[in-house]
Amino acid sequence: MTNNAVQKQKIIGMEERVRLQVELQRYLRAEDQFARASKEFNDSCRSLRNALGTRQRFVVQVDFQFYLMTSDNDGNFEVEKVPTL
């Protein structure tokens, strides 16, 4: 670096460095959680697609909630929350 570049750099104090470190740790944890959640979501979609037949429509109950499941000929599916039966 040139002297001008060194002079233009902001010198941060210890408190600022600690704050930045904490924020970076938070970001890295969130990034890891997002990657794991994304993988779990993709795996569950694949598993559900494999378990479903084609051209089906039915209601399932999960945790006291009702959902309308619909699948097409291509293995695509939709899940809609049903207020009540």
Q: What is the pLDDT of residues 1-54, one digit of tens each?
A: 556 655 677 788 999 999 999 999 999 999 999 999 999 999 999 999 999 888
Task: Give the pLDDT confidence score for residue 14 in this predicted structure.
Answer: 92
Residues 6 or more apart in contact with residue 60 via CB below 8 angstroms? 66, 67, 69
Distance CA 67, CA 15 (A): 50
In angstroms, what CA-CA distances link 39 with 52, 69, 71, 75? 20, 22, 22, 19
Nearest to 61 by CA among 51, 69, 53, 50: 69
Is there a contact between 71 and 55 (Cβ–Cβ < 8 Å)?
Answer: yes
The model's pTM? 0.68
Q: What is the mean pLDDT of residues 54-67?
A: 94
Task: Give the pLDDT confidence score for residue 16 in this predicted structure.
Answer: 94
Task: Give the pLDDT confidence score for residue 64 in this predicted structure.
Answer: 93
